[in-house]
């Protein structure tokens, strides 16, 4: 078990790298969506976000267990989970809603705002809304 906890820095850096990959890929897809690029129809572009986000979720779960802090137990983790859910919802709206471009841009900006808030929670481990 000691080896597992010794790998914490590896999983932490993997998790942060996956966050950057996920957000950058969202932004690239969003710009392509606004430009109505046919590249969005490629299979790899449709599958890659799911693969990245699956590994992101797994690395996040590993980190939760390694620091022994869990959603719905620790307020900051619950709030972070809510921020991630808000990011996913707004990113989905930005990419799929049948609305005008300005609305989609605000949804994308809101999604990025929730990512920044989740990062703040991860750094300081102090809930604002719940605690």
- pLDDT of 7 reads 87
**Which pLDDT value is given to residue 130?**
60
Residue 6 pLDDT? 78
What is d(CA 10, CA 16) in angstroms, rounded to the nearest whole number?
10
Q: What is the dihedral of CA 48, 53, 56, 58, to 10 degrees?
A: -110
Model pLDDT for residues 68-113, shown as the tens digit of each residue: 999 999 999 999 999 999 999 999 999 999 999 999 999 999 999 9
More confident residue, 46 or 1: 46
Q: What would the pLDDT profile of 11-26 be if each residue is shown by its tens digit?
A: 999 999 999 999 999 9
Domain boundaries, the chain: 2-124
């Amino acid at each position: 078990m000691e080896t597992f906890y010794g790998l914490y820095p590896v999983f932490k850096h993997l998790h942060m790298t996956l966050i950057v990959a996920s957000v950058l890929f969202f932004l690239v897809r969003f710009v392509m969506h606004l430009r109505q690029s046919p590249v969005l129809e490629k299979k790899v572009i449709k599958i890659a976000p799911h693969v990245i986000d699956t590994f992101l979720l797994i690395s996040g779960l590993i980190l939760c267990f390694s620091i022994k802090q869990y959603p719905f137990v620790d307020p900051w983790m619950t709030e972070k989970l809510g921020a991630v859910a808000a990011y996913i919802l707004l990113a989905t709206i930005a990419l799929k809603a049948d609305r005008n471009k300005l609305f989609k841009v605000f949804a994308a900006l809101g999604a990025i705002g929730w990512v920044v808030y989740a990062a703040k929670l991860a750094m300081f481990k102090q809930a604002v809304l719940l605690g």
